[in-house]
Structure 1
């Protein structure tokens, strides 16, 4: 198998799992890293035995690199992805695709102009837990889906993240930072969303960092920290979606899907594992489903591996730019709905991703 040559831009905290991912997946090698902080890029290159570390322009100038993985902060996602596309590289971006729908659309249009491909995280819906949920839904274990609920409720990152200020700036907050995991999971299982309505608020306008090294620094909050939405999918399913950085604790489930013949409890969409539970008229109480694959633990990179395989085989890949753009527009519409106090229709559509097929072709431990 010919391995794709990958360059990574952005060597922050999430980069370690991506930089070590060639040990897990079969079809790519990482040959270079870049960051505004050159020293940090060099340290990561040494740590992960990567031959090149340097500036973004130097990395993009390397002809042998086929694809750029964009791990920059959300506010830089669109600009960095467009630069990579202009340099003739495919792009796989961390979520979100951009901080606004118009910027995300620019990325997709640039890729079309260049004849290149764009993929977008999260890829957690390809893990064993959510793929098992897809299998159970397709088998009709809970009948036809009629409704769903999703909750991501917590206290915010200022008590544990080393540099949490950007979480409260445009393009982040609980909706844009963690919402993509929940919304991508729902779209992957139920299809695209047709319209949304939401009521949002900034509960505490100024927060104080309590983690090191910036303990005591004040953060001006620019984005809603409590988001309460209703979503209507194209197939008629209605879903409640709530996300917040204002909640001390909760016992609510992460995601549930309700069907004509039962209920399905999904695992945390921020991970790849189970457990998965279901109940229908044939069960006695809740049943834990056996997971249908071994793609568990931290498998970030499976979406990238599937994208590379899809490009080689000329088939649709699952973490597509269209899926990422649809989720981005949905998040923007959730903000717009609250600001304008009305229902809003979405303009984008996307295909419901197919189940992940033949993971052994991509995954070292199944090879």
Structure 2
């Protein structure tokens, strides 16, 4: 008899709330267990979300009725934990990035392929109504031929809200590896695979200070560039420029603008699942100051049902039952990581660095995809 796909979580930290809020509401999945090195933290989350089993990570790996394990550990542990999940005979959905180096990340995908198992990689924000509607707008030709994109993520840094932010400034973190996956994944969904990148980087400070929680006042080192300026060239044509910074007192986040031959498309923050979408049309006549510049701006209706993190796990669950590819797959996650690491290398060079990996056509989520329908 059909049954919901069994899901377990390894990692019960801050982001687990976002996943559990949604996964416990989707009829097609059943969250069976939560594991964490801190068993008390896992049990607290299990109690909060009415999950039946909690303890160390092994309780998740040992459950025969769990089909997909969601890996919410810190980036440096992603590959090790994902490999343990594969070894236990279960599919993996891992938070971004897939890993922090190419070799181990490639090895993980090879092991999954050999075992006949799947790897899905965050962010699944690109599966939400915002990016998916934008893809349909572009495919219809509403902005003509996409030419280039501009994205911006800048603010003062996560130490003002995160109680233990040091890992976000360690290898595998920083604004590039932490936030870059949202923006690069979005650009790959729009333009296809990245061919080469160039970049400049800097550290605004050599140390940072925790500003909230029990570690308030604690200093920690900055191991990676905290500001990175990027140029990207895509295989199929098109360019992009991006800024990632945690050195800016002025907060400007979630900016994604895609300029085409017939209009500029502004889409929602890629760290969210949807929002306002507009197209600005070219001027039809010359405007001489001080006359105001008036351009036609078209509001685009967002198509799809808003949810949140866990949408990629649900798409994977349905794809397993349907025998089709899931959209946010491991190869895309690897290509995004390869692109981000190439950007790091371009900072050191400094020179344009080729991105060796590629991906085939990126899949889509249909507009009528209903996360709250019971389809299994």
Say if 1:282 and 1:362 are closer, same or farther in 2 by CA, change over 3 A. farther
Map of 2:324 onto structure 1: 315
Q: How does 1:39-54 map to 2 (within 5 A)?
A: 39-54=40-55
- Correspondence 1:332 to 2:341: yes
Q: Structure 1 CA distance, aligned partners of 2:259 and 2:369?
A: 32
The offset of 1:365, in angstroms, is 9.9
Q: Verify the 8 A CA contact 2:201 2:228 in the aligned structure 1.
A: yes
Contact (CA 8 Å) 2:155, 2:252: kept in 1 or not? no
Check if 1:11 corresponds to 2:12.
Answer: yes
Are the structure 2 counterparts of residues 220 and 57 from structure 1 closer, same or farther at C-alpha, using a change threshold of 3 Å?
Answer: same
2:298 is aligned to 287
Q: TM-score, normalised by structure 2?
A: 0.93
Determine helix, strand or coil for the equivalent of 2:137: helix
Moved runs in structure 1, 4+ residues, more than 6 A? Answer: none
Which residue of structure 1 aligns with residue 102 of structure 2? 101
**Contact 1:6 / 1:31 at 8 angstroms: preserved in 2?**
yes
Tell me if structure 2 keeps the 8 A contact 1:189–1:352.
Answer: no
Name 1:162's counterpart in structure 2: 163
Q: TM-score with structure 1 length normalisation?
A: 0.95
8 Å CA contact 1:262–1:278 kept in 2: the answer is yes
- For the 8 Å contact 1:123–1:302, the answer to whether it is kept is yes
Paired position in structure 2 for 1:305: 314
Q: Answer yes or no: is 1:36 the counterpart of 2:29.
A: no
Cα distance, 1:251–1:99 mapped onto 2, change above 3 Å:
closer
Measure, in 2, the Cα distance between the counterparts of 1:354 and 1:64. Answer: 28
Matched with 1:350 is 359
Q: In 2, distance between residues paired with 1:255 and 1:323? A: 20
Answer whether contact 2:27 2:374 (CA < 8 A) is retained: no
Unaligned runs of 5+ in 1: none
Q: d(CA) in 2 for partners of 1:2 and 1:366?
A: 9
Aligned length: 365
Q: Aligned partners of 2:371 and 2:212: how far apart in 1? A: 38
Q: Distance in 2 between matches of 1:194 and 1:118?
A: 24
In structure 2, stretches of 5+ residues that fail to align are: 285-294
Q: CA RMSD in A?
A: 1.9
